[in-house]
Amino acid sequence: MKGLVIKNTGSWYQVQNESGEEFECKIKGNLRLKEIRSTNPIAVGDYVEFGLTDDSVGVISDIYDRKNYIIRKSSNLSKQSQILAANLDLVALMVTINYPETSTTFIDRFLAVAEAYRVPACIIFNKTDKYNEDETEYLNAFADLYNYLDYPVFKISALNHENTDELANFLQDKTTLISGNSGVGKSTLINAIARDTTAKTGKISEYHNKGMHTTTFSEMFVLSKGGKIIDTPGIKGFGTIDMKKEEIGHYFKEIFKISQNCKFSNCTHIHEPGCAVLEALQRQQISHSRYQSYLSILNDCDSGKYR
């Protein structure tokens, strides 16, 4: 049978067949022997071939080709990567200016990975109901920056259902991966826009202003207005994988566009004479935060941190 992986709890996978029936499945032993450089050879969103044993336990025997996927550096040092989800139409990064604070480096690393794997991305700024005047001004500045770079931006309060209808309309009929730091409100949003779900929500550590992990596995939910959304465990960092140093600038839209005017075709945009990117940075045509994020990924390559 052909099925869609809708939940991953580690060693078990919940698979939905073409009739909508759901089965608890394991991976067939010889499938594990394939050289898949990730901690999870199968991800939510994968289409798989599976059969049933005499006691109705599913056994996954093969994976259908993916149209795309999103990966990050795994915290498991024995493997290189973790596949967050597969076969996506969109990735949505949920961001909070505070409660907890999302770093601009985290945002830009996520967007760079989306660009590298050719998956369209949008940014959701959550908890607008909690921000004071200064925080709201800060939010608006960053929303304007990413909107200028042609990333769709949404400002919402998932808790109060403010502007969630507009977001749900945008996600309609798409398969979307939603990601972000722990505590930014992903589960609260899913409860607001998904059909028949009670995704587990958690609290913020007041002492550290950081989110507590509440989602411990990846799961797909059906949206009320159509489409699917894949929730993943909150992540603290976003390590980039398999990025060649000379290509990193390609994954920053504004740097790639301006770099066409650099004097040297192999310009790293750090110290070279005639670098159009450095000139644009001085003229504030490229934001300082985005450039610093670009340098941080370059530094990963130089140190061999994620290779």
Q: Residue 213: its pLDDT value, please?
A: 45
Please compute the mean of the pLDDT values over residues 132-151 and round it to a whole number.
Answer: 97
Q: Residue 95: its pLDDT value, please?
A: 96
Residues 38 and 71: beta-carbon distance below 8 Å: yes
Tell me the per-residue pLDDT of 237-247, one tens digit each, with 9 for 90 and over. 555 666 788 89
As a whole number of angstroms, the distance between CA 99 and CA 206 comes to 8
| pLDDT of 192 strictly over 50 | yes
Closest CA to 251 of 66, 259, 276: 259
| pLDDT of 264 strictly over 90 | yes
As a whole number of angstroms, the distance between CA 289 and CA 275 comes to 18
Q: Residue 55: its pLDDT value, please?
A: 84
Instruction: Tell me the C-alpha to C-alpha distance, in Å, between residue 166 and each of 157, 160, 162.
Output: 12, 14, 9
More confident residue, 147 or 40: 147
Q: Residue 290: its pLDDT value, please?
A: 97
As a whole number of angstroms, the distance between CA 268 and CA 156 comes to 37
Yes or no: is domain 83-231 CATH 3.40.50.11900?
A: no
- Ranges 45-49, 69-73, 185-189, 280-284: which has the least confidence: 69-73
pLDDT band at 37 (very low <50, low <70, confident <90, very high): low
Closest CA to 264 of 250, 248, 276, 255: 276
Tell me the per-residue pLDDT of 106-134, one tens digit each, with 9 for 90 and over. 999 999 999 999 999 999 999 999 999 99
Look up residue 252 and give its two tokens.
């920053």
Tell me the per-residue pLDDT of 49-60, one tens digit each, with 9 for 90 and over. 999 998 889 999
Please compute the mean of the pLDDT values over residues 9-25 and round it to a whole number.
Answer: 93
Residues 210 and 99: beta-carbon distance below 8 Å: no
Domain ranges of the chain: 2-65, 83-231, 247-303
Q: To 10 degrees, what angle do helices 186-193 and 164-171 make?
A: 80
| pLDDT of 262 strictly over 60 | yes
Q: Residue 282: its pLDDT value, please?
A: 96
CATH class label, 247-303:
mainly alpha
More confident residue, 7 or 203: 7
- Ranges 211-215, 264-268, 274-278: which has the least confidence: 211-215
pLDDT band at 33 (very low <50, low <70, confident <90, very high): very low
The predicted model scores a pTM of 0.88
pLDDT band at 41 (very low <50, low <70, confident <90, very high): confident
CATH class label, 2-65:
mainly beta
